[in-house]
Amino acid sequence: MMGALINPSQPVLILPQKWVMIGFERIAIAWKNGQTESLLVHSLLPLLKAAKDVVLITEGKYHQFGACASDVTQYLNAHGVKARRKQVTASKTADALVKTTKAEKAGMLVCGAFNRRSLTSQRLLGGAPSSY
């Protein structure tokens, strides 16, 4: 699986080993203003359009260049996606994402993983994808 995450040119859907029902009516997106997340949202636009509710979950400590969550929310709304933003604050980003996804009753959490430039730092320092 790590091989699929190293090359972020295409989205990868990771499913649990045991069969579970995945709901696509409500979708949560972990947003941190990165290129990976931008490509992911663009690639998943048809799936997001089919959802009844999409929530962009942002965590305050990320300040990277790129589209902010309000810009992405406007982009999604312009494409017919009912999207909104939710700001969370937590010491552990992965825990906050899972907790918020459950609280929002989202059937899936969409998030970027590693990209080539940050793979070394992610392995050394850790990150939300390594916490799952």
Q: Where residue 90 sits, what CATH number does that domain have? A: 3.40.50.620
Is residue 4 domain-resident?
Answer: no
Question: Residue 3: inside a domain, yes or no?
Answer: no
Which tens digit of pLDDT belongs to each residue from 37-57?
888 898 899 999 999 999 999
What is the residue-averaged pLDDT of the chain?
A: 78
5 assigned to some structural domain: no
Q: How far apart are CA 97 and CA 25, in angstroms?
A: 18
- β-partners of residue 86 are 57
Number of separate domains in the chain: 1
Closest CA to 38 of 11, 17, 61, 59: 11
pLDDT of 34 strictly over 90: no
Do the domain assignments include residue 7? no
* 3-state secondary structure at position 28: strand
Tell me whether residue 52 is in a domain: yes
- Domain enclosing residue 108, as ranges: 23-131
Q: Would residue 15 count as lying in a domain? A: no
Q: Which of 12-16, 26-30, 39-43, 66-70 has the highest mean pLDDT?
A: 26-30
